[in-house]
Structure 1
Amino acid sequence: MSTTSTQSGSKAKLPPRVTESLVNRLTAMVTAGTAGEAREPFEMTEVYTGDVVGYLPQSSPEDVKAAAEIARAAQREWAARPLADRLAVFERAHELILSEIETLADLIQIGCGKARRMAIEEACDTPMVIAHYLKTAKKTLKPKKRSGPMPVITTSTEEHRPKGVVAVIAPWNFPFAISMSDSTPALIAGNGVIMKPDNKTALCTLYGIELLHKAGLPRGLVQVVCGGGPDVGPTLIDSVDFVMFTGSTATGRTIGEQAGRNLIGCSLELGGKNPMIVLDDVNLDEAIPSAIFAVFGNTGQACMHIERIYVHERIYDEYLRRFAAAAEELGKTLGASYDFEPEMGSLVSVDHMKRVAAHVDEAREKGATVVTGGKPRPDIGPAFFEPTVLTGVTKDMAHATQETFGPVVTIYKYSGVDEAVALANDTDYGLNASIWTGNIERATALAERLEAGAININDGFVTSYAAKGTPSGGVKQSGVGTRHGAAGLLKYTDTINVGVQKKQIMAARASMPYEKQLKSTLLTLRLMRRLHLG
């Protein structure tokens, strides 16, 4: 075990792969103190212990402007490179990330406190995204020539050109996966990127950028700024051509408003209060383990995780009994270590743990039943909380309607499918929904009635999110825009229409009376429709 030297506070004991020199090298990548007055650095801590890991420089608005200038200059040269050259960088980055998966997992765990299995799975998300765009980017970005308004004589070509500089504002719950997976298509499309990771979890993102540099990404093309959202966010949005944000609905609304005033695009993946509907023909041997992961994976800190389960009355008692027993067993595997023994890790911070606990305490005080869990576990670490199952939650309780974003779920009973659909859709959010049944045709019909951007049948959320060829996003208050698929690449481009007229036939002819021109035009339009030439 290595120990980082710090300015104050306890010294964190970390895995051998994470050394003081590595931490210092990574934090030096942040644009801070170069264009404005130096600010007090952020004290990074290991979630498991609260011990100090290092100090992260904080950027000023002037630093953000300087970062944008550097990224914009580098972007012009990057965009001029052939697409094949840009893809070659990511071909190398794919292998580098896989080769450094253990170090990435260490850095993810230090900042997030998640179980190692989840850290490894998070690190694997970016290679999956890279592999998809290595396969599809050439076809997606290739200019597409089409006929113009008059066949043969006119043509129209659709081109996709990079927007310029993209801001990627990444959250703390999947800091490496989201920051790198959102930046990858932006860079492949020919953009520069200004990355703003969360202060608590910046190290893994910085390491990912270092690997991109090793793969051949030009220096300066990706800039990193750090700081509180109100401190650097407004200047960041004013300095870029597109914003990719993942986080709360409240912050997303603020970002969307500023982007709108600037007439730039934005893609926002926001909150969720995701339901699961369990039909009465379900195989509980399969459904219970999957639901446990859908609720408690990443300690419940996933935008798409399940917080509400609606179970048919015929199987409700058995489902609740088995689910609660499985949750209780999971609670016995809570642990703070850099190996694969713990199946569930910590919440990201003490502050967030207190918020989760407040939702549970309020529900209990107002009459809800805590079937299992419901308590912090300071004996394991400062931000640990037990996997928790509630019943009897009513709409006057925060957990009923607000995103708790922790290892807490309420299980409800329903009597008919119409009731289940109404309950599932009774939310301002629409990010993810899940259906469990032994009849796929029945589930597919039910899925048509659910209001969510992702709907998983016989799975919680992994199947839809891991399908990198299909766009993923939210509806209602859960966001605007998508990631993944062709749309996840094209959103970082401006669509250009280049029209060519080979012979001047579309202009008005002075020698022909307008009434005659009108008759000729109408005849032509009808003929083109019949011949399918429009």
Structure 2
Amino acid sequence: MTLQRPASLTDDFLRGLVARVPSSDGGTWKLTEVYTGELLVELPQSTPADIEQAFVTARAAQVEWAKRPLKQRLEVFKRAHTLFLDRAQTTTDLIQAESGKNRRMAIEETCDPPMVMSHYLKRAPKLLAPVKRGGPVPFLTTSTEIRQPKGVVGIIAPWNFPFATGISDSISALMAGNAIVLKPDNKTALSPLYGVQLLEEAGLPKGLFQVICGEGPDVGPTLIDNANYVMFTGSTATGRVIGERAGRNLIGCCLELGGKNPMIVLDDADLDDVVQGAIFGAFGNTGQICMHIERMYLPESRYAEFRDAFVKATEALSIGAAYDFGPDMGSLVSPDHMERVKSHVDDAVAKGATVLTGGKPRPDLGPAFFEPTILEGVTKDMLAGVTETFGPVVALHSYRTVDEAVELANDTDYGLNASVWGGDVATACQVGKRLESGNVNVNDILATAFASKGTPSGGVKQSGVGARHGDQGILKYTDVQQLAVLKKQVMGARPGQDYDEYVKGMIGGLKMMRKTGIR
């Protein structure tokens, strides 16, 4: 198809971005524009030796970076905050070209790193400051908690939000004094590469933030074996492999993994609000959001009412390839992924599910487009019933009681995100607390939870280990050093003192400290 590429995406600009990626053997990967399938740039592929050298370079830069006072490190991100917002349109162009998402989702993705910067610019000085605590003997001992950077953090970013995860997950690690080696997905390497360029323009030392590229099995093991900590966002299957390797290396990892996220609609929910929320929950970013909705539970008494309104709104969505805010929904990330989504729908139909709307690829629009799809009659023997589809496909179910709805929502191996809708917010919150999910949104799908940078966001069950955001989002990138000081030698019996006498005194002292509240 013919599509005018944005003027910002010149060949020289794109080649300049990928020139940062090391590739000693000259191997490349064809990075294409998703909308059309046309070549954007040849992306260098890194060898294990290239990755090892990237860690050597990053480690040397990290030593000097960690020596800088925190205030000086944070100045870089104050400047970067302005740069990221000023260049948001160019970043949006890159995100659209490499991922195929519509412009609304792309521009919203560019806002995530500045939001993370803003939060930790305020919070980091307190969280990273030494904390003096009491020692075992009042006045004569002290114990100080000191936060030390882990060293070089390996970040493996997914293709669905390459800029938000690749850059946002790096920000707090950098603030804490670490270096970064980032592996973006080959399909979506351009926007994170641009983010690194902007950080360096803001004053981040060159060499501190390395980017390596390649297919996961080719580069992942070397990255994990050289990192001091790993942050991964992606599938549960890959997360298990990464977690096992990190465990063998005795390094920490944070894993945000898959989901089969439910949405419960209570019988007093507002119809228009629910439909609007469901449209975004199922079809935002073409259904390629870790926290998006794939299972929707409707009260039996209002099932037909909600179903019909949702189908009507879905059929009114516009789908297309455009670098403007016209289409409501864009493309899937690749033809291969489109075939995966199609296979889930085909499997469900073959086993008895009904397609209420959609259900088909749209090759007339581009090589990876798929219609927004609503299914009915999905069961647990279908792929779409238990496995994350990660596309614009949602299944509708009815329930009779709230207890049944909660039981159905929790009947999954996953627990990343959930959504509850109701007119009585207090009641909806009580329902939400019963759900086995790391994130629960009331009268929203996911934005309120994910945009609340002060609160940890992570999964339970098979949806992950650890969290991003909140205090954990920066403290996980640090090791705790305890600096303990004894001012006078009182930790033991005095010379010549009978040890029984010493023990009596010690026990009496402990009782006194507890009684007086000293310890």
Q: 1:353 touches 1:385 (CA, 8 Å); kept in 2?
A: yes
Aligned to 1:30: 21
Aligned to 2:385: 400
SS at match of 1:25: helix
Letter in 2 for 1:386: E
Aligned to 1:471: 456
Looking at structure 2, the residues matched to 197 and 12 of structure 1 have their Cα atoms a distance apart, in angstroms, of: 26
Aligned to 2:429: 444
SS at match of 1:473: coil
Aligned to 1:209: 196
Looking at structure 1, the residues matched to 507 and 408 of structure 2 have their Cα atoms a distance apart, in angstroms, of: 53
Which of residues 208, 229, 233 is equivalent to 1:221? Answer: 208
Looking at structure 1, the residues matched to 433 and 7 of structure 2 have their Cα atoms a distance apart, in angstroms, of: 51
Looking at structure 2, the residues matched to 151 and 45 of structure 1 have their Cα atoms a distance apart, in angstroms, of: 66
Alpha-carbon deviation of 1:445? 1.7
Which of residues 152, 156, 163 is equivalent to 1:165? Answer: 152
Which of residues 406, 415, 438 is equivalent to 1:421? Answer: 406
Looking at structure 2, the residues matched to 385 and 217 of structure 1 have their Cα atoms a distance apart, in angstroms, of: 41
- 1:181 is the counterpart of 2:168: yes
Q: How does 1:264-275 map to 2 (within 5 A)?
A: 264-275=251-262
Q: How does 1:481-492 map to 2 (within 5 A)?
A: 481-492=466-477
Looking at structure 2, the residues matched to 524 and 444 of structure 1 have their Cα atoms a distance apart, in angstroms, of: 48
SS at match of 1:158: strand
Which of residues 7, 10, 21 is equivalent to 1:19? Answer: 10
Per-residue CA distance 1:344-388 (angstroms, 9 max, x = gap): 100000000000011001101111010111111111111011111
Looking at structure 1, the residues matched to 71 and 516 of structure 2 have their Cα atoms a distance apart, in angstroms, of: 39
Alpha-carbon deviation of 1:321? 0.8
SS at match of 1:485: coil
- 1:334 is the counterpart of 2:322: no
Looking at structure 2, the residues matched to 101 and 356 of structure 1 have their Cα atoms a distance apart, in angstroms, of: 30
Alpha-carbon deviation of 1:12? 8.1
Looking at structure 2, the residues matched to 390 and 149 of structure 1 have their Cα atoms a distance apart, in angstroms, of: 63
Aligned to 1:391: 376
Aligned to 1:234: 221
Q: 2:3 touches 2:322 (CA, 8 Å); kept in 1?
A: no
Per-residue CA distance 1:444-469 (angstroms, 9 max, x = gap): 22222111110111111110100001
Aligned to 1:349: 334
SS at match of 1:482: coil
Q: 2:52 touches 2:226 (CA, 8 Å); kept in 1?
A: yes
SS at match of 2:31: strand
Looking at structure 2, the residues matched to 527 and 282 of structure 1 have their Cα atoms a distance apart, in angstroms, of: 58
Letter in 2 for 1:225: I
Alpha-carbon deviation of 1:523? 2.2
- 1:287 is the counterpart of 2:274: yes
Q: 1:115 touches 1:340 (CA, 8 Å); kept in 2?
A: yes
Change in Cα spacing, 1:269 to 1:372, as seen in structure 2 (3 Å) is same
Per-residue CA distance 1:414-441 (angstroms, 9 max, x = gap): 1111111111111111100111111122
Letter in 2 for 1:476: K
Alpha-carbon deviation of 1:13? 4.9
Letter in 2 for 1:232: V
Alpha-carbon deviation of 1:504? 1.4
Looking at structure 2, the residues matched to 433 and 11 of structure 1 have their Cα atoms a distance apart, in angstroms, of: 40
Q: 2:150 touches 2:228 (CA, 8 Å); kept in 1?
A: yes
Looking at structure 2, the residues matched to 514 and 261 of structure 1 have their Cα atoms a distance apart, in angstroms, of: 45
Compute the RMSD of aligned alpha carbons: 1.2
Looking at structure 2, the residues matched to 420 and 299 of structure 1 have their Cα atoms a distance apart, in angstroms, of: 26
- 1:527 is the counterpart of 2:512: yes
Looking at structure 1, the residues matched to 282 and 140 of structure 2 have their Cα atoms a distance apart, in angstroms, of: 59
Aligned to 2:33: 46
Higher mean C-alpha deviation, range 147-156 or range 396-405: 147-156
TM-score computed with the length of structure 2 as normaliser? 0.98
Looking at structure 1, the residues matched to 104 and 294 of structure 2 have their Cα atoms a distance apart, in angstroms, of: 21
Looking at structure 2, the residues matched to 12 and 317 of structure 1 have their Cα atoms a distance apart, in angstroms, of: 40
Aligned to 2:236: 249
Looking at structure 1, the residues matched to 132 and 402 of structure 2 have their Cα atoms a distance apart, in angstroms, of: 48
- 1:56 is the counterpart of 2:43: yes
Aligned to 1:374: 359
Aligned to 1:7: none
Letter in 2 for 1:27: V
Letter in 1 for 2:492: A
- 1:146 is the counterpart of 2:133: yes
Structure 1 stretches lacking a partner, 5+ long: 1-9
SS at match of 1:469: coil
Looking at structure 1, the residues matched to 59 and 156 of structure 2 have their Cα atoms a distance apart, in angstroms, of: 18
Looking at structure 2, the residues matched to 505 and 297 of structure 1 have their Cα atoms a distance apart, in angstroms, of: 65
Aligned to 1:456: 441
Alpha-carbon deviation of 1:510? 4.8
The alignment-based identity, stated in percent, is 60
- 1:359 is the counterpart of 2:359: no
Letter in 2 for 1:436: W
Q: How does 1:85-104 map to 2 (within 5 A)?
A: 85-104=72-91
Looking at structure 2, the residues matched to 531 and 494 of structure 1 have their Cα atoms a distance apart, in angstroms, of: 33
Q: 1:278 touches 1:437 (CA, 8 Å); kept in 2?
A: yes
Q: 1:294 touches 1:306 (CA, 8 Å); kept in 2?
A: yes
Looking at structure 2, the residues matched to 425 and 152 of structure 1 have their Cα atoms a distance apart, in angstroms, of: 52
Q: 2:6 touches 2:323 (CA, 8 Å); kept in 1?
A: yes
Looking at structure 2, the residues matched to 525 and 417 of structure 1 have their Cα atoms a distance apart, in angstroms, of: 52
Which of residues 412, 430, 437 is equivalent to 2:415? Answer: 430
SS at match of 1:156: strand
Looking at structure 2, the residues matched to 510 and 252 of structure 1 have their Cα atoms a distance apart, in angstroms, of: 58
Aligned to 1:128: 115
Q: 2:300 touches 2:400 (CA, 8 Å); kept in 1?
A: yes
Letter in 2 for 1:38: G
SS at match of 2:139: coil
Alpha-carbon deviation of 1:132? 0.5
Alpha-carbon deviation of 1:294? 1.2
Higher mean C-alpha deviation, range 335-344 or range 149-158: 149-158
TM-score computed with the length of structure 1 as normaliser? 0.96
Change in Cα spacing, 1:410 to 1:11, as seen in structure 2 (3 Å) is closer
Q: 1:11 touches 1:52 (CA, 8 Å); kept in 2?
A: no
Per-residue CA distance 1:451-490 (angstroms, 9 max, x = gap): 1110111111110100001111011111111111111001
Per-residue CA distance 1:167-207 (angstroms, 9 max, x = gap): 01100000001100000001111111001010001011111
Q: 2:420 touches 2:441 (CA, 8 Å); kept in 1?
A: yes
Aligned to 1:494: 479
